């Protein structure tokens, strides 16, 4: 298993009704443990209810909307993986949004609060902390903690994450060698202007039989799958470098920046400029 390198950004307990935000698409992971009240989170057009006695996970780079109409009491935990290994696991796995909390989970959150009591958010509004400057400042502050504290924090975050990964399913469920070959071809040539006819011919299938089989196995048409893979790559390029929207679009095979922007917004619900402002 690859080694993660977590930096704890924010954590604490919040109880209030000022929890109505979105769209949010952050470069860090959010974990919640709900103690009282009810809230909802919208992800990918689905509405999820957050209720007491449960743990919730919102992975990095997942667009979501938060809603509550009455006091909502919950522990929150924000962290980034500087090794960038965790994002690979998120892409490869389907994880539950909700699991039942245990007494040990409460103990972990309370232990984190006792280890790092001074990184509680003073304001729940994302624009006050979910910015480039806010994330960098929080990560740098965590680096000042004693090495023993950082080691324990990493272990506690791993413990919470492991609770969700116990229920993980592979996103790529296909056992069909032809579709596996196509996925490999797409991954290694992401900027190429693929023709569906060529992908189908490459695995000795007719075009329409190939499209049906691909969607059966992957849940996407080949065209939509390529778009999603490119936009995921674009997100990482925006976070990691100083490339312009035009440069990122071109690196992924899009000469038309307006078209790339429309696709990016369709997948993330943010324009590239909005995403960069939040996450660069």
Q: What average pLDDT does the chain have?
A: 90
Given a cut of 60, whether residue 38 has pLDDT beyond it is: yes
What sign for the dihedral angle of Cα 201, 202, 204, 209?
Answer: negative
Burial string for 33-65 (b: 16+ CB within 10 Å, else e) reads bbbebebbbbeeeeeeebeeebbbbbbbbbbbe
Q: Please say if the pLDDT value at position 1 is more than 60.
A: no
Give the pLDDT of residue 34: 97
pLDDT for 238 equals: 87
Other residues' Cβ atoms within 10 Å of the Cβ of residue 100: 9
Q: What is the DSSP letter of 271?
A: -
CB 182, CB 114: distance < 8 Å: no
Residue 124: pLDDT band (50, 70, 90) is confident
Q: Which residues sit opposite 170 in a β-bridge? A: 93
- Give the per-residue pLDDT at 206: 92
Burial per residue of 206-222, b for 16 or more beta-carbon CB atoms within 10 angstroms, e otherwise: eeeebbebbeebbeeeb
This prediction has a pTM of 0.82
The alpha carbon of 2 is separated from its chain's Cα centroid by a whole number of angstroms, namely 18
Quick check: bond before 211 cis, omega within 30? no
* pLDDT tens for each residue of 235-279: 888 887 778 999 999 999 999 999 999 999 999 988 999 888 877
> Strands (DSSP E) along 82-195, which ranges?
93-94, 98-100, 169-170
Instruction: Summarize the confidence of residues 26-42 as an average pLDDT.
Output: 94
Predicted confidence at residue 83, as pLDDT, reads: 85
Q: What is the pLDDT of residues 63-113, one digit of tens each?
A: 999 999 999 999 999 999 988 888 888 887 889 999 999 999 999 999 999
pLDDT in tens, 128-177: 888 878 888 888 999 999 999 999 999 999 999 999 999 988 766 677 88
Distance CA 85, CA 82 (A): 8
Interacting residues of 274 by C-beta distance below 8 A, sequence separation 6+: none
Residue 234's contacts (CB-CB under 8 Å, 6 or more residues apart) are 248, 249, 252, 260, 264, 272
Average pLDDT of span 228-241: 86
Mean pLDDT score, 215-224: 89
CB 81 within 8 A of CB 6: yes
DSSP conformation class of 37: S
φ, ψ of residue 117 in degrees (nearest 5): -75, -10
CA distances from 61 to 45, 94, 266 (A): 16, 14, 14
Q: What is the pLDDT of residue 159?
A: 96
C-alpha angle 6/139/248, rounded to 5°? 85
Phi–psi pair at 64, nearest 5 degrees: -150, 160
Sketch out the chain's domains with CATH numbers: 6-170 (2.60.120.10), 177-279 (1.10.10.60)
Angle between helices 222-240 and 272-279 (to 10 degrees): 40
Tokens read off for 168 = 């993980």
CB-CB contact of 264 with 271 (8 Å): yes
């Amino acid at each position: 298993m690859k080694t993660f390198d977590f930096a704890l950004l924010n954590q604490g307990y919040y109880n209030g009704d000022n929890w109505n935000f979105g769209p949010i698409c952050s470069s860090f992971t959010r974990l919640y443990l709900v103690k009282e009240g009810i809230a909802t989170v919208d992800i990918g057009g689905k509405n999820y209810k957050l209720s007491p006695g449960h743990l919730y996970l919102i992975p990095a780079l997942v667009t979501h909307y938060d809603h509550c109409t009455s006091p909502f009491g919950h522990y929150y935990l924000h962290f980034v993986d500087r090794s960038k290994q965790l994002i690979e696991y998120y892409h490869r796995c389907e994880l539950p949004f909700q699991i039942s909390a245990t007494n040990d989970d409460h103990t972990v959150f309370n232990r984190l609060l006792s280890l790092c009591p001074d990184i509680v958010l003073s304001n729940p509004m994302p624009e006050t902390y979910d910015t480039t400057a806010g994330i960098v400042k929080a990560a740098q502050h965590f680096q000042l903690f004693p090495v023993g504290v950082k080691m324990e924090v990493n272990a506690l975050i791993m413990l919470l994450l492991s609770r969700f990964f116990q229920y993980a399913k592979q996103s790529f469920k296909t056992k069909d060698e032809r579709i596996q070959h196509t996925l490999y071809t797409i991954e290694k040539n992401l900027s190429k202007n693929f023709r569906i006819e060529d992908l189908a011919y490459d695995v000795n299938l007719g075009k329409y039989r190939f499209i049906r089989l691909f969607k059966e196995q992957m849940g996407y048409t080949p065209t939509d799958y390529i778009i999603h893979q490119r936009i995921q790559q674009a997100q990482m390029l925006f976070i990691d470098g100083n490339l312009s929207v035009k440069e990122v679009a071109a690196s992924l095979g899009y000469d038309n920046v307006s078209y790339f922007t429309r696709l990016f917004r369709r997948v993330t619900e943010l324009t590239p400029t909005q995403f960069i402002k939040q996450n660069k």
